[in-house]
Amino acid sequence: MKSAGHGAASTATASTTTRVVAVVGAGFSGICVAIQLLRRAGLAPLRVALVEPRADLGAGLAYATRDYPYPLNVAAGQMSVDAARANDFLQFARAQGIQAGPADYLPRPLYGEYLRARFAEANLAAGDARALHYRARVLQLRRSADARWELWLDDGSALRADDVVLALGNGPPAALPALADISTSGHYVDDPWSIGLHGHENIDSVLLVGSGLTMVDAALRLAAIRPRVRHIHVLSRHGLLPESQASAPRPAIGPDAGAIGMARGSLRRMLRAWRRLAGEIGDAGGDWRELFALLRAQVPDLWHSLDAVQRARFLRHARAHWDVHRHRVPTGPLSAVRSLERLGVLEVHAGRLESARLLDDVVAVQWRPRGAHRSRAWLVNRVINCTGPDHLVLHSPDPLVKSLLANGLIRPDAHSLGIEVAAHGQVLSASAAPVDGLYYIGPWLRARDWEATAVPELRAHAARLAQVLSGEALALSA
Ligand SMILES: Cc1cc2nc3c(=O)[nH]c(=O)nc-3n(C[C@H](O)[C@H](O)[C@H](O)COP(=O)(O)OP(=O)(O)OC[C@H]3O[C@@H](n4cnc5c(N)ncnc54)[C@H](O)[C@@H]3O)c2cc1C
């Protein structure tokens, strides 16, 4: 068995009281927790073991190097690892010779490089307490006789740790039942970021299922393929494209912003206050959607104040609209999509996918427009699943997640948003009891906080988790 604990003891002066923290998954969330822990290396006797199959730490699904320079969806000034050093990412970009400002949307691979650079610095500064990267996938987690954790890896070895942080990130998109007949054919693509790689040239017409941020990535990439794709159908239930990031200056809103806090506990009052504040911003000449940025930090508290019935009501009636206004894209990519629409290359449809069948070398797709009684059909060369990562825990293909569920170590929430996690990041078991030494960070925190998928929220969680793991929070509250 490969043991991080033994490894630490043999390579360094770590004493037997040194705790080993295994971080499973090193996308943004995992690497950010590791950076925060490494910076505390001199303060707490900790060793960090990162378990991540990818060679590029920090890349995850979002910031990997790809054959196309997809831009970040969040401006450079909000993407630093530390909220307190807002321009840190920007300074890194400038040091690479990129002249950019805080409102610019820089390439995603550059962000991956930034995360690796900050990790390398923190690791170097940690000296003997530097983190180890195990290039493997964790298949299972078990309690050992001495109440530590055993992490069984897909290379046949195992690691031992005192604390485990699950930072498993975004899974693949949900399988679409209507596409079952073509799902194993080369005409179906479930990784939208693979477009442009071998086998996707010379396609005449495409169906993109989903009309959100992932669709924008796919449309941008398709537009760059030569010879040109002649027709791109976009189909989603509501046919809503994401909105663009605000271009109007952010207005200062007055003390009335507190009104939203006063509405805690009542969805109806919250929505009323939200509409009124949006109106005030509009009247002041601003872009009302900036309300999301202005009140973002309050969202978890508001969400916590709603009971299960009100949360369900919000998800049923307001979720689609929340998503398009809150998860926006930079103006550039959205304008590119809009000009494809104007040229007649891209068409957005609201409706339901019914079936897809292979006919020689094309796919016959049947769909029903929203509100219509009759179905319609298209013939396309490719169907690309752009519905985005599937957040349904029970759908996860990850053997680790399956085993955590089977062993009752995690508990999906009632609204299928993620898993239940206690205030300090500790995972709740199937019986809703906090699991000693098992923590979670990542998009499944939506179950607890609703807003939890982007860097500004995740970096705050990472900093708090590192405090808890290094005993700081306990010391502060003692
Ligand atoms: C395409 C895309 C673009 C985005 N752009 C932005 C943006 O511009 N700004 C922003 O704020 N947010 C953006 N996001 C949101 C994004 O979710 C977060 O910013 C962040 O990347 C999430 O990081 P993560 O570490 O939680 O997940 P991931 O990046 O998905 O990383 C999870 C990691 O865990 C590893 N892993 C999974 N299972 C195991 C296992 N069993 N054993 C070992 N390792 C495992 C995976 O290999 C992966 O590297 C984007 C998301 C996507 C999908």
CA of 236 to the centre of ligand 1 (A): 24
Which of 114-118, 262-266, 280-284, 398-402 shows the lowest per-residue confidence on average (mean pLDDT)?
280-284
Minimum CA distance residue for ligand 1 atom 51: 62
pLDDT higher than threshold 90 for residue 80: yes
Minimum CA distance residue for ligand 1 atom 14: 454
Closest CA to 201 of 190, 183, 186, 213: 186
The pLDDT value given to residue 247: 60
Q: What is the pLDDT of residues 415-435, one digit of tens each?
A: 999 999 999 899 999 999 999
Minimum CA distance residue for ligand 1 atom 49: 60
pLDDT higher than threshold 90 for residue 12: no
CA of 453 to the centre of ligand 1 (A): 9
From 50, 68, 73, the mutation candidate for ligand 1 (largest count of ligand atoms within 8 A of CB) is 73
Q: Is 189 exposed, middle or buried (0-12, 13-18, 19+ CB in 10 A)?
A: buried
| Contact criterion met (CB below 8 Å) for 336 and 105 | no
Q: What is the pLDDT of residues 257-292, one digit of tens each?
A: 677 888 899 999 999 988 888 888 888 888 888 888
Task: Give the ligand 1 atom nearest the CA of 441.
Answer: 26
pLDDT higher than threshold 70 for residue 132: yes
CA of 414 to the centre of ligand 1 (A): 23
| Contact criterion met (CB below 8 Å) for 192 and 384 | yes
Q: What is the pLDDT of residues 360-386, one digit of tens each?
A: 889 999 999 999 999 999 999 999 999
Minimum CA distance residue for ligand 1 atom 12: 454
Task: Give the ligand 1 atom nearest the CA of 169.
Answer: 27
When pLDDT is averaged across residues 291-314 and rounded to a whole number, the result is 91
Which of 28-42, 60-74, 232-246, 321-335 shows the highest mean pLDDT?
28-42
Minimum CA distance residue for ligand 1 atom 27: 169
What is the C-alpha to C-alpha distance for residues 311 and 295, in angstroms, rounded to an integer? 18
CA of 76 to the centre of ligand 1 (A): 18
Minimum CA distance residue for ligand 1 atom 16: 454
CA of 31 to the centre of ligand 1 (A): 10
CA of 385 to the centre of ligand 1 (A): 18
CA of 441 to the centre of ligand 1 (A): 11
| Ligand 1 pocket by Cβ (under 6 Å) | 24-30, 51-54, 60-62, 72-74, 137-138, 167-170, 389, 398, 400, 442-443, 453-455
The pLDDT value given to residue 148: 96
| Contact criterion met (CB below 8 Å) for 41 and 15 | no
Mean pLDDT of the chain: 90
The pLDDT value given to residue 475: 46
Task: Give the ligand 1 atom nearest the CA of 54.
Answer: 47
What is the C-alpha to C-alpha distance for residues 160 and 162, in angstroms, rounded to an integer? 7
Cβ within 8 Å of residue 178, ≥6 positions away = 353, 354, 355, 356
Minimum CA distance residue for ligand 1 atom 3: 62
Which has more confidence, 11 or 222?
222
What is the C-alpha to C-alpha distance for residues 424 and 440, in angstroms, rounded to an integer? 9
The pLDDT value given to residue 226: 81
% pLDDT > 90, the chain = 71
Cβ within 8 Å of residue 36, ≥6 positions away = 462, 463, 465, 466
The pLDDT value given to residue 394: 94
